[in-house]
Chain A
Amino acid sequence: MHLRRIIVSAIVIGGCALTLSAASASASSSLNSVRSGKFTVLPAPGPSVSLTAVVAANATLKRGNGATAVSQPDGIGTYEVDFTNDVTACAYVATLGEPASKGFLPAGFITVVSRFGTPQGVYVATYAKNGQLKNLPFHVDVGC
């Protein structure tokens, strides 16, 4: 009886493994098909590089993915965020925001541009709501 239970359990586990394997292959195939443009139900996954950085107002790099350094090249409200990769072919999206789960951040503006002369760099400028440059914390997301 005990042996029979063991055999049944093995069959169930094996069956699931085979089913999972098939499902995984199917999902992978489906994604590949999407990439090759066979289907239009799901958007084709584009380039998958995603670099991120969360920067404090004083230019301290708090966290992120692929970010190596932050500096203030031109003084108040200007930041250079350097990454591990060349980002000249990417899009940068940034939002003003505190690195931590505290504090109240007044409304302001933020702009992004490639860092001239540094292929790994993103140049970020932050402004108060009156349009004047001001040191403000931010989150930046680089998609390529």
Chain B
Amino acid sequence: MKRTTICAALVLAAITSSAVAASHSGFAVVDSDGTLVRGSNGTSASNQGTGAYEVLFANTVRQCVFTASTGSAGSNGQNFPGFVTVAAREGNIRGVYVTTYDIAGNPADFAFHLNVRC
């Protein structure tokens, strides 16, 4: 019994550490019109209205962390400061819902970079 308990604990630790190793699970760089400029395999994006975007990944992202920054998708062009927020997409376990706002807090289309870590 004692041996089983010890082995179970060690096995659990091994599985946990293996799971932790899968740290980065996807990314997307999306233009202000909702075009996916680059991203991990199986990713797509679309504009859902002014300042609202849906980014879909190959698999579920329900247990993941979403971080995003506003920023151009290319390597030139002027950036304008703005706000960005993220949320899991209602009704789609593979989706992230991104909203962008101008400096005054009004919804506005901005290009953005999104990282998903699971």
Contacts and interface: CB of A to CB of B under 8 A. Distances in A.
Interface of A: 12, 15-16, 19-20, 23-24, 26-28, 31, 34, 37, 40-50, 88-95, 109-117, 123, 125, 127, 131, 141, 143-144
Q: Select the residue from B10, B14, B57 with max chain A CB neighbours within 10 A.
A: B14
User: What DSSP secondary structure best describes chain A's contact surface?
Assistant: mixed
Contact of B69 (A20, A49, A94, A144): A94
Interface of B: 3, 6-7, 10-11, 14-15, 18-19, 21-29, 38-42, 57-61, 63-64, 67-77, 79-83, 103, 113-118
A46 B26 contact: yes
A123 B76 CA distance: 9
Given A23-B15, A27-B14, A113-B77, A143 B3 contact: no
Contact of B68 (A40, A93, A113): A93
A141 B42 CA distance: 22
A96 to B, nearest CB: 10
Given A45-B24, A46-B25, A46-B26, A91 B14 contact: no
A12 B3 contact: yes
A15 B6 CA distance: 11
Contacts of A26: 15
Given A15-B7, A125-B79, A112 B24 contact: no
Contacts of A94: 69
Contacts of A91: 27-29, 38-39, 113-115
A51 B114 CA distance: 15
19 contacts: A12-B3, A16-B6, A20-B14, A24-B14, A42-B59, A43-B64, A50-B23, A50-B24, A91-B39, A93-B68, A109-B70, A109-B103, A111-B72, A112-B70, A113-B71, A113-B75, A131-B81, A143-B115, A144-B24
